[in-house]
Amino acid sequence: MVDLEKLKQLVGALDEDQVQEILDRFINSKPSSDEARQIMSACQQGMEIVGINFESGEYFVGDLIFAGELLTSCIEKLKPLLGTGNSGNKGTIVLGTVEGDIHDIGKNIFKGMAEAAGFKVVDIGIDQSPETFVDAVKGNKSKIVGFSGVLTLSIDSMKRTVEAFKNAGLRDGVKIIIGGNAVSQEACVYIGADAWSQNAAEAVKTCGAWI
Ligand code: B12
């Protein structure tokens, strides 16, 4: 089994060669989806180190961009292993990153896992206005909508998006789940969402329980 702490540190150090080598060896060992999720989680924790190094001034925006590319390539490799068993069409989730925020790596992980679990996911992309979310839910007759956001300012964007659902008379007919580095129980209450998660696999279970 992979040394998860070492992998986390290597991602944090942006050591692409060693990270890719570890992942390739891991994939060749025919691992289970649970093991693949642990690897994904270690990579996610490595991004926290990147964030800390950025805050302390050791890393710059270029490093954030590189970190994003590194994690995206890790996800591409792990994706085929993450499936939780497609059990047919469980319904539609509208998903997007809220206005003002362009981060999408976590959103894409949640999307991949939800699709693997049998949901149809309508991904409306990044930096999306409250109105776009409302229109997408209406247009797709979706009963679940997911907001992603990692910036602190995304919390207010999410709140405005919930308000837009209320104003459109749609709030009672839709379950709202929020995710990303910025969310918490406190934020969930403030925003008026139904659930929150920083763990895509757990979030998919929550959506499954709703249908
Ligand atoms: C990579 C990165 C970038 C990349 C993003 C590339 C991309 N395609 O997404 C780029 C370079 C573009 C970037 C830009 C910026 N970034 Co940035 N970035 C990061 C970094 C290092 C990693 C984010 C990440 O991908 N994490 C890994 C993913 C897997 O985690 P996650 O998003 O939490 O997702 C998981 C769960 O939360 C959940 N999930 C996610 N979404 C959803 C949605 C739903 C519905 C559900 C259910 C679950 C779910 O599932 C995922 C898997 O479990 C973070 C550091 C950190 N600690 O997060 C900073 C960070 C988020 N960035 C930061 C900043 C400041 C910026 C910039 C302002 C920098 C600048 N000066 O330009 C810009 C902002 C641009 C904007 N308007 O959005 C700050 C935010 C500070 C704050 N508190 O607001 C952070 C925290 C770094 C720091 N510590 O200072 N960034």
Cα gap 1→104, rounded to integer Å: 29
Task: Give me the pLDDT at residue 86, please.
Answer: 54
CA of 103 to the centre of ligand 1 (A): 5
pLDDT tens across the length of the chain (211 residues): 899 999 999 999 999 999 999 999 999 998 998 899 899 899 989 999 999 999 999 999 999 999 999 998 998 899 888 765 555 578 999 999 999 999 999 999 899 889 878 899 999 999 999 999 999 999 999 999 999 999 999 999 999 999 999 999 999 999 999 999 999 999 999 999 999 999 998 999 999 999 8
d(Cα 86, Cα 80) in Å, to the nearest integer?
Answer: 12
Task: Find tokens 């279970």 and name the residue.
Answer: 205
CB of 188 closer than 8 Å to CB of 125 = no
**Ligand 1 centroid – CA 88 distance (Å):** 31
Test site for ligand 1: of 78, 103, 109, 115, most ligand atoms within 8 A of the Cβ: 103
C-alpha of residue 89 to centroid of ligand 1, in Å: 30
| Per-residue model confidence (pLDDT) at position 115 | 87
The end-to-end CA distance of the chain, in Å, is: 35
Q: Report yes or no: 148 and 98 within 8 Å, Cβ to Cβ.
A: yes
Q: Distance, CA 30 to ligand 1 centroid (Å)?
A: 30
User: In this structure, which residue's CA is closest to atom 18 in ligand 1?
Assistant: 64
Nearest to 101 by CA among 144, 64, 56, 147: 147
Residues 6+ away with beta carbon under 8 Å from 113: 82, 84, 200, 201, 203, 204
User: What whole-number distance in Å separates Cα of residue 58 and Cα of residue 114?
Assistant: 36
Structure confidence at residue 88 (pLDDT)? 54
Q: Which residue has the tokens 């702490």?
A: 5
Query: What is the layout of strands, in order, in the sheet containing 120-128?
Result: 120-128, 92-98, 144-148, 175-179, 195-197
| pLDDT for residue 187 | 98
What is the best residue among 105, 127, 150, 152 to mutate for testing ligand 1's pocket, by most ligand atoms within 8 Å of CB?
Answer: 150
- Ligand 1 neighbours, Cβ below 6 Å, are 44, 47-48, 50-51, 54-55, 61, 64-65, 67-68, 71, 95, 100-107, 109-110, 146-148, 150-152, 177, 179-181, 197-200, 203
In SS3 terms, 9-30 reads as: HHHHCCCHHHHHHHHHHHHHCC
What pLDDT shows up at residue 112?
84
Token pair belonging to 31: 């691992």
Q: What pLDDT, on a 0 to 100 scale, did the predictor assign at position 81?
A: 87
* Shortest-distance Cα residue to atom 35 of ligand 1: 106
- Could you tell me the domains of the chain? 4-81 (1.10.1240.10), 92-210 (3.40.50.280)
* CB 175, CB 210: distance < 8 Å: yes
Q: Which ligand 1 atom sits closest to the C-alpha of 93? A: 45
Q: Convert the pLDDT of each residue in 9-67 to its tens digit.
A: 999 999 999 999 999 999 999 899 889 989 989 998 999 999 999 999 999 999 999 99
The answer to whether the beta carbons of residues 163 and 132 sit under 8 Å apart is: no
